[in-house]
Amino acid sequence: MANQHKFKQRVIRGVPDKDWADFDVLAQAAGTDRSAILRDFIAWYVRRPKAHRPTRPDEDAPSA
């Protein structure tokens, strides 16, 4: 089917709008997106083989 996602969509609750917006800006500045960073973090957190912890941006990185 045309618009079928490979995986079930998830909802993240309780994240302040400013944090979500800054996360988006920083992810784009790093050449990626929020979903990729979250997937990497979850894989690392649950100790999947070859998973790596996402790198945090520099303190002087842009924000929204």
Q: What radius of gyration, in Å, describes the C-alpha atoms of the chain?
A: 14
Give the pLDDT score at 1.
Answer: 58
Q: Which two tokens stand for residue 11?
A: 């909802």
Residues, the chain, total? Answer: 64
Give the pLDDT score at 62.
Answer: 73
Express each pLDDT in 7-63 by its tens digit.
888 899 999 999 999 999 999 999 999 999 999 999 999 999 999 999 998 887 777
Any idea what the Cα angle at residue 10 is, between residues 8 and 16, rounded to 5°? 165
- Nearest CA among 24, 25, 34 for reference residue 62: 25
